[in-house]
Structure 1
Amino acid sequence: MAFSPAAVGSEVSPEPGGSGSPGEDADGERELLPRPGERLVPGNRLKEVVGASLASLCLGPLAGPQRLGTLVDCLVLNYRLRQGLGWSRDRGAAAEGRGAAEGPLRCCGCGRFLSEPVTVPCGHTYCRRCLRRELRTRCRRCRDWLLPAGGTSTAAAPLRTSVVLNQLAEKWFPGECERARTGSRLEELLAQGRFREALGAASQALRADSSDLMLRIYRAESYVGLQEYKTAIEDLNFVISKMPNWPEVYFRKGKVLQDSGFVGDALQLFLQCLALDEDFLPAKLEVERTLCDVLSPEKLGESLKESAWNLPHIRNKPFILGSEVTESYCNLQLCPEQSLGGSEVLEPVSGSLNRAQSAHALNSTKDLAKEDGLKRVSSEPLLSGQEKGALLKRKLSFSEQDAVVCEDGRNKHKKQGESTKRDMTLAFGTIPGDLIDVSDFECSLCMRLFFEPVTTPCGHTFCKGCLERCLDHAPQCPLCKESLKEYLASRKYSITELLEELIMKYLSDELYERKRIHAEETAEHSNLTKNVPMFVCTMAYPTVPCPLHVFEPRYRLMIRRSIETGTKQFGMCISDSQNGFADYGCMLQIRNVHFLPDGRSVVDTVGGKRFRVLRRGMKDGYCTADIEYLEDVKVADEEELKKLRELHNFVYNQACSWFQNLRNKFRTQILQHFGPMPDREENIQAMPNGPAWCWWLLAVLPVDPRYQLSVLSMMSLKDRLIKIQHILTYFSRDQSK
């Protein structure tokens, strides 16, 4: 079955242009039409979108974004409301429906056993089959892109099996894994076009286990390959009866009916598929193509094409349908007589076509296919003109009754009240206690229980913190050495939800202990007086910005820990040849971090408290220290305070004069790097570190760091002002020369 239909509108011919003809300004008129992605709420009018879409088709070939996307969204919404599925989108509802397998290893897509598990970038896990067939492009749970770049081709991003989850599946459920391998072999046969062999293998496997619904799917595909459509529909009906909320089976049944000429029935099945999973891309493409074929000017007639140009919603902004379009719209049987909040709705899926007639039609297509190949109803291969008028009004061809497997591998319908030989049971649910081993959930880096497990694109799983530390040193997987440059650049280390759920469920005591240890480690890192992380680099001052380029692995770890603990602080000291780093420094507060694709970062910090080092240490490669904070000693005597204010004002004016006399080049550089000089403060003892302008000036003055350090360590504002005065006097002499 094809999953990549041709582009919508590729077969619609443009209207020849001319003076005053519609084709002359088609591009301008299309700007008034709704675009895909413009979501319609229940209060919107379906007729308006239908009319706009008809007008768009009359303008000629659709170019750029497919303008029928909005119509499809509107139809699906109305279909959901009619089916009672509600306005809000229930993510993953299909996987939770009746008949879905229940157990610890379940696919987020189909809800069945998680065979060959693949964890996508958002942290959710799918069976390989759901991703390999490109049945959807967004995650069922969170609607994030399933592929890293948001693409739709798995060829560009090879799918790697999650090693840990695959080992658990093989250990806990070997029978289910063997089933999956059988399915893989059938897929290979179908891909090679060996339909007769695939049919025999699937039928033989079903005789051994009639409850395996995937075997019925593969057998239905085999029947389709052999053009035995009626029997394929019976298999698909059986699957629907057991898993009525599985979107894929509706899509497959719709494809069979579409290839058999029953486009109306197929369209409703595609809508049912989208109602269960709005991101099921193949179904949406089929609906767009079907509507484009059915609503094309060739099908609706030249009169509609002419009248479309006079519709008010083309010439005027308000979208109101004209009588001609309304009539054609009603002929399309979009059920205008049934309304919900002013919106027309499609009839829900229910068995309706006469069974014998449908079966006869399906069987008759086999002979046609041998000569000309199957064609669509929109190309007029099977239906009369009267039948085409009621094309979208017909319902499904086959009832949803259960079927049983005969000895020859085919289905036959059972009588009412009769039960199948073996109803679908929970193939996997309970794990024997002796198979649960904590060693299966240990990180290969720290050799402890997974804490916040993340799975890399290559399929290996680590603790989030452990992986980040490894990527600080090299952008490669610690186990297989595969490049993780793109993974590092995205910095999206999403937790593998399924693995975390398994640990919480089966190893709750071990997880509690692991969390306790992690909390103790975090508390140790968040202490701002004991073992405070030290960045040994440059001088930093209170209130003064200090941008940093962080590239060393040890400091990457230090910055990350400062952020994770919530303190967002660390100490800054200059180096010292004897002790490693100076006895005095300044705390830095992280304001923002900009991560570069290769793991480096630019950290925007600003100076905070001053401190004195009491004891030095080392942790994970970076320096630590026990510290005590410094504050200026306040002057209480009024006379001394008056003299201090006079000294403060004199030095401040001296600093302003020095700065204004600088060359424009130097002054501009200082302003760009440090910002403007802070204003003079009225209360010079209000802040524990004294006036901010003193530190700004000390940062911009070209003074030896050791001299600056001596000023930083002072706890007397008077002594600091005198030091600054001496420096300014020295530089003022140079300016006067």
Structure 2
Amino acid sequence: MELEKDIPRVQDHKLAAAATTASSSASIEADMLTCPLCLNLVCQPITVPCGHTFCRVCLYMAMQRSKKKCPNCRAVCHVEPASHAVNVMLAQIAQKCFPKQYEQRLLESKQEQEKFESTSPIFFYNNCLFPGCLLHLHLFEQRYRHMINRCVSSNRKFIYLPNFTDYKAKTGDVGLLAYIDECEFLPDGRALLKATIQKRVKVTNTWVEEGTQGLHYCQFHPYVEEDKTVDEEELNAVHKQVNGLFNHVPGLKDQIVHHIGKQPPLTNPVLWSFWLAAFVTMVSRSGVQSMSLLKTTKTSERLKQSKRLLSQVSLPGRNNRNSGQAAAEPMAE
């Protein structure tokens, strides 16, 4: 009887010994955690629906200009690498087994991910806007439906690129970074959105993503104002001229506030010069001629050009008021 009682104990010891031997012999090799794209230790691993796993940066670059398919098996893959959740378990295993290598890979990927922030889809329109302006859009084209869905689910930003010819982006183009404040999706897929123009940017690279019916993307860097000095007397004179137009044409100020935004204080001459450029563009319907106002990097030069255009504007009555209203409505696409 005592022998029978000892049998389970012996079996338990054997199982424990076997488990210890198995755990000691089990090891994770670096090639088990290798990204099939860069052939390095996987960093910030993302697992796509088909089951394959890649580094975040590698998947982003692989899907950036091609159809939304798994780079390994070509299965359909509607994943946004920049915002998709990391495979936490796999990331912890890689970090624990290869801490120094993983830390180095994180530093490398951080540099690459900075490009994510400077990459956005492009919306083309034949009207020139400026930083601080409001933007009202009715999006119905399929490519812009793709754009708005991606923007809303990520950083809510896109590039507004004034274009008066072929609706194609080129390296060196000056555009504007827009932030989506409100967006309403209609039952048929169209979208009504309100956005604010944040700053000017310069296109450094551009391409059309496959499978999006012609959605353009670009990489960009800030387009900086180099000279912010202004002549105070000239600034006040133009400000007085603008307010004179508001007093002369009833309802014009309301139109400007709705389509461009409230007039900034003169204590910020750079922002006020952008608002003035937008105001002049709207009331003069200058269109492509306003691109020089957008591209100049000198505040004083923008004021002078705007003042010259403003002197050519005559809004004595109702007809001109209606003209200003028509020029102000950037609802399209």
Indicate the TM-score class for this superposition, using the shorter chain for normalisation: 0.5 to 0.7
Aligned residue among 31, 40, 53 for 1:461: 53
Q: CA deviation at 1:724?
A: 3.8
One-letter code aligned to 1:479: N
CA distance in 2, matches of 1:602, 1:511: 44
Cα contact 1:454–1:464 (8 A) shared by 2: yes
The 3 A distance-change label for structure 1 pair 632 and 534 is farther
One-letter code aligned to 1:574: P
TM alignment of 1:65-214, pairs within 5 A:
none
Q: Count residues in correspondence.
A: 291
SS in 2 for 1:684: coil
SS in 2 for 1:498: helix
Cα contact 2:34–2:41 (8 A) shared by 1: yes
SS in 2 for 1:688: helix
Q: CA deviation at 1:451?
A: 1.8
Q: CA deviation at 1:648?
A: 2.7
Q: CA deviation at 1:484?
A: 4.6
Cα contact 1:453–1:461 (8 A) shared by 2: yes
Question: Is 1:720 aligned to residue 318 of structure 2?
Answer: no
One-letter code aligned to 2:34: E
One-letter code aligned to 2:176: C
Residue 629 of structure 1: aligned partner: 224
Residue 513 of structure 1: aligned partner: 104
Aligned residue among 586, 591, 604 for 2:176: 586
Aligned residue among 132, 140, 149 for 1:543: 132
SS in 2 for 1:644: helix
SS in 1 for 2:12: coil
Q: CA deviation at 1:629?
A: 1.7
CA distance in 1, matches of 2:47, 2:278: 47
Residue 650 of structure 1: aligned partner: 244
The 3 A distance-change label for structure 1 pair 602 and 445 is farther
Cα contact 1:477–1:483 (8 A) shared by 2: yes
SS in 1 for 2:54: strand
CA distance in 2, matches of 1:582, 1:653: 40
The 3 A distance-change label for structure 1 pair 545 and 610 is same
Q: CA deviation at 1:483?
A: 4.2
CA distance in 2, matches of 1:628, 1:457: 39
SS in 1 for 2:197: strand
CA distance in 2, matches of 1:447, 1:555: 32
The 3 A distance-change label for structure 1 pair 501 and 418 is same
Aligned residue among 601, 618, 626 for 2:205: 618
Cα contact 1:545–1:606 (8 A) shared by 2: yes
Question: Is 1:606 aligned to residue 196 of structure 2?
Answer: yes
Residue 447 of structure 1: aligned partner: 39
Aligned residue among 430, 450, 459 for 2:24: 430
TM-score, normalised with respect to structure 1: 0.32
The 3 A distance-change label for structure 1 pair 698 and 735 is closer
One-letter code aligned to 1:618: N
Residue 573 of structure 1: aligned partner: 161
CA distance in 2, matches of 1:731, 1:686: 32
CA distance in 2, matches of 1:717, 1:724: 10
TM alignment of 1:679-698, pairs within 5 A:
679-680=262-263, 683-690=265-272, 694=276, 697=279
One-letter code aligned to 2:93: L
Residue 503 of structure 1: aligned partner: 94
User: RMSD value over aligned CA atoms?
Assistant: 5.1
Q: CA deviation at 1:723?
A: 1.5
Aligned residue among 416, 419, 429 for 2:9: 419
Cα contact 2:277–2:306 (8 A) shared by 1: no
One-letter code aligned to 1:573: L
CA distance in 1, matches of 2:195, 2:219: 19
Q: CA deviation at 1:523?
A: 4.2
Cα contact 1:574–1:582 (8 A) shared by 2: no
One-letter code aligned to 1:607: I
Q: CA deviation at 1:701?
A: 5.4
Superposed CA offset, 1:638-670 (max 9, x none): xx455334313213335654477xxxxxx7xxx
TM alignment of 1:269-348, pairs within 5 A:
none
CA distance in 2, matches of 1:589, 1:678: 15
Structure with the larger RCO, 1 or 2 (CA within 8 Å, 6+ apart)? 2
SS in 1 for 2:9: coil
CA distance in 2, matches of 1:446, 1:619: 24
The 3 A distance-change label for structure 1 pair 676 and 537 is closer
State the identity %.
16
CA distance in 2, matches of 1:701, 1:644: 15
One-letter code aligned to 2:178: L
TM alignment of 1:353-364, pairs within 5 A:
none
Superposed CA offset, 1:1-29 (max 9, x none): xxxxxxxxxxxxxxxxxxxxxxxxxxxxx
The 3 A distance-change label for structure 1 pair 583 and 506 is closer
Cα contact 1:455–1:496 (8 A) shared by 2: yes
SS in 2 for 1:449: coil
The 3 A distance-change label for structure 1 pair 534 and 684 is farther
Cα contact 1:543–1:607 (8 A) shared by 2: yes
Unaligned runs of 5+ in 2: 209-216, 324-333
Cα contact 1:651–1:721 (8 A) shared by 2: no
The 3 A distance-change label for structure 1 pair 448 and 547 is farther
One-letter code aligned to 1:518: S
Q: CA deviation at 1:503?
A: 0.8
TM-score, normalised with respect to structure 2: 0.61
The 3 A distance-change label for structure 1 pair 422 and 515 is same
SS in 2 for 1:573: strand
Cα contact 1:534–1:625 (8 A) shared by 2: no
Q: CA deviation at 1:589?
A: 4.2
Residue 52 of structure 1: aligned partner: none
Superposed CA offset, 1:665-696 (max 9, x none): xx7xxx9xx83664455x43424221675355
Q: CA deviation at 1:515?
A: 0.9
Q: CA deviation at 1:555?
A: 7.5
Q: CA deviation at 1:610?
A: 4.1
SS in 2 for 1:419: helix
CA distance in 2, matches of 1:729, 1:705: 18
Cα contact 2:68–2:76 (8 A) shared by 1: yes
